[in-house]
A = this chain, B = another copy of it.
Amino acid sequence: MKAAIITIGDEILIGQIIDTNSGWVAQQLTLAGFEVEEMQSIGDNAQQIKDTLDDVFPRVDVILTTGGLGPTKDDITKKTLCDYFATTMVFDNTVLENIKELFPDRTINSLTHDQAYVPKDSIVIQNKVGTAPVTWFDYNGKVLVSMPGVPYEMKYVMENEILPRLQQRFEPEAYLKRVYIVKGYGESALALHIEEFENNLPEGFGLAYLPSLGIVKLRLFVRGEHRLKELKEQEKKLQALLGDAILAEKDIAIEKVLGLRLFEQGLTLGTAESCTGGNIAHLVTSIPGSSRYFKGTIVSYANEEKINLLNVSQESLERFGAVSEAVAMEMALGAQKALNVDSSISTTGIAGPDGGTEEKPVGTVWICTRLKDKYVAKKYQLGKFRDANIMRASNFAMLQLLDMFDQKN
Question: Min CB distance, A47 to chain B, in Å?
Answer: 12
Contact of A296 with B299 at beta-carbon distance under 8 Å, contacts A15-B30, A36-B14, A288-B352 already known: yes
Contacts of A251 in B (CB 8 A): 16
- Tell me, in angstroms, the Cα distance from A111 to B211 when the chains sit together: 15
Contacts of A38 in B (CB 8 A): 13, 40-43, 48, 52
Interface presence of A110 (CB below 8 A): yes
- Tell me, in angstroms, the Cα distance from A386 to B283 when the chains sit together: 12
Flag if A11 contacts B208 (CB, 8 Å): yes
Residue A390 contacts which of B17, B25, B286 (CB distance < 8 angstroms)?
A: B286
Residue A13 contacts which of B15, B36, B150 (CB distance < 8 angstroms)?
A: B36
* Secondary structure class of chain A's binding surface, majority of residues: mixed
- Tell me, in angstroms, the Cα distance from A67 to B48 when the chains sit together: 26
| Nearest 10 A/B pairs, CB to CB | A15-B27, A277-B285, A278-B281, A278-B278, A15-B26, A297-B299, A18-B23, A111-B188, A39-B41, A296-B305
**Which A residues lie at the B interface, using CB under 8 A?**
10-20, 22-30, 36-44, 48, 52, 55, 70-74, 109-112, 129, 150-152, 155, 175, 177, 179, 187-189, 191-192, 198, 206-212, 217, 219, 251, 273, 276-282, 284-286, 288-291, 294-302, 304-305, 308-309, 338-340, 351-355, 383, 385-388, 390
